C-alpha cells in the first residue's frame, strides 16, 4: 500500500464499523459507485464495466450479476462474514493498483472522454455524462499483484473522479497527491470548471479539513494544516463527503435539468465566463438540493 491507501485502511480497521458497513465503506473509499439497502450492497449502473471485473478477481468477494434493473449491475457480498475475513477483503479493495508507484509522483491518471474528442462548445453541448471511469482496469486476476495499473484512479480522489460525470463534468486527469502534495482534478472542456464550481456552491458544501481552489481547468484540494496522517485523513473525509452527495438520484437529476436549461439559455455568449457562470448559478438556484 502507498501512504494514502495505508491511512485509509488504518482508519477502516479502527473504525468500529460492523462487517457489512466495513465492506461498504471500503468500496466507497476506493472509488466504487455502490449503494446499500435492506437487500445488500450493489454496484451502481453508472459504474464502468471494468469495476465488476476487478471485484470479481478478489477471492473473498462474491459478485452476482443483476439484470433487469436500471440502477444496479451487480450485488457485492463477502464469502465469509467474520471480521477478519472482511478486513482482508477491505485491504484487497483499498490496495488495488494505482497509476503510480508508492508515495512518489508518477503522473496523472488520464480520464478524458475520448482521445480524439475536441474540447469545443459543440462537443460540450453534446456531452451528457462525461466518461465512465474504471477504478482499476485490470485484464487478468494475476494483475491484482501489480502495484501499478495504467489509468487506475488514485484511492484518495477516485470517488470524486467517478461522480464528476454524474454532475455533468468531464475530467481529463486526476491525482490524490500521494500523501505529500495537494489532490487535483483537471477538467476536459473549458466550461467544466465553471459548471463544477457552480454546482459546488449550489450544494452549499463546506469542507471542514481542506481548502478547495477552483479554476477554469482544475480543482486543487489540500489539507488545511499540513501533511500529517490526521491531516490527510481529514482531506480524504472531505472528498468523500462531497462525492457522496452525487449518489443521491434526485440531486443528479436536478443537476441534469439545470445544465440542459443552461445550454438552452446561454446562446452565443458561451465564450463569456461571467455570462456562463451567472446563468449556471441562476439555473441551479431554481432547485432545492436535499441529500
Q: Say what the pLDDT of residue 291 is.
A: 45
Residues in the chain predicted with pLDDT less than 70, given as ranges, are 100-116, 288-291
pLDDT at residue 46, rounded to an integer: 87
User: 39: Cβ–Cβ under 8 A, 6 or more apart, which residues?
Assistant: 75
pLDDT in tens, 237-282: 999 999 999 999 999 999 999 999 999 999 888 889 999 999 999 9
**Residue 130 φ then ψ, to 5°:** 70, -120
Summarize pLDDT for 153-188 with one digit per residue, the tens.
999 999 999 999 999 999 988 999 999 999 999 999
Length of the chain: 291
Q: How far apart are CA 234 and CA 222, in angstroms?
A: 10
> In terms of C-beta distances under 8 Å and separation of at least 24 residues, what long-range contacts does 262-266 make, across chains too?
262/195, 263/125
Q: Return the C-alpha cell found at 13.
A: 480497521
pTM: 0.93
- DSSP H helical segments within 120-204, as ranges? 121-126, 158-163, 192-202
* pLDDT for position 116: 67
List for the chain the helix, strand, coil content (%; round to 5): 45, 15, 40
Amino acid at each position: 500500500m502507498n501512504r494514502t491507501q495505508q491511512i485509509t485502511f488504518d482508519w477502516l480497521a479502527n473504525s468500529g464499523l460492523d462487517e457489512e458497513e466495513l465492506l461498504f465503506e471500503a468500496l466507497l473509499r476506493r472509488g466504487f459507485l455502490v449503494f446499500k439497502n435492506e437487500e445488500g450492497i450493489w454496484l451502481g449502473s453508472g459504474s464502468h464495466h471494468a469495476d465488476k471485473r476487478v471485484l470479481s478477481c478478489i477471492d473473498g468477494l462474491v459478485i452476482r450479476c443483476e439484470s433487469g434493473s436500471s440502477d444496479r449491475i451487480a450485488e457485492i457480498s463477502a464469502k465469509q462474514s467474520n471480521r477478519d475475513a472482511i478486513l482482508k477483503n477491505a485491504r484487497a479493495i483499498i490496495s488495488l493498483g494505482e497509476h503510480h508507484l508508492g508515495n512518489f509522483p508518477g503522473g496523472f491518471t488520464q480520464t478524458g472522454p475520448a482521445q480524439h474528442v475536441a474540447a469545443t462548445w459543440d462537443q460540450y453541448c453534446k456531452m451528457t455524462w462525461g466518461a465512465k471511469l474504471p477504478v482499476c482496469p485490470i485484464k487478468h486476476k494475476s494483475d491484482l499483484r501489480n502495484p501499478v495499473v495504467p489509468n487506475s484512479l488514485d484511492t484518495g480522489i477516485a470517488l470524486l473522479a467517478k461522480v464528476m460525470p454524474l454532475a455533468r463534468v468531464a475530467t481529463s486527469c486526476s491525482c490524490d497527491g500521494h500523501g505529500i502534495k495537494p489532490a487535483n482534478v483537471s477538467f476536459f472542456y473549458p466550461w467544466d470548471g465553471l459548471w463544477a464550481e457552480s454546482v459546488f456552491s449550489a450544494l452549499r458544501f463546506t469542507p471542514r479539513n481542506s481548502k478547495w481552489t477552483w479554476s477554469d481547468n482544475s480543482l486543487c484540494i489540500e489539507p488545511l494544516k499540513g501533511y500529517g496522517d490526521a491531516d490527510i485523513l481529514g482531506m480524504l473525509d472531505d472528498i468523500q463527503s462531497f462525492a457522496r452527495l452525487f449518489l443521491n438520484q434526485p440531486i443528479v437529476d436536478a443537476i441534469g435539468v439545470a445544465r440542459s436549461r443552461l445550454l438552452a439559455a446561454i446562446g452565443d455568449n458561451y465564450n463569456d465566463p461571467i455570462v456562463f457562470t451567472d446563468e449556471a448559478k441562476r439555473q441551479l438556484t431554481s432547485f432545492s438540493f436535499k441529500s
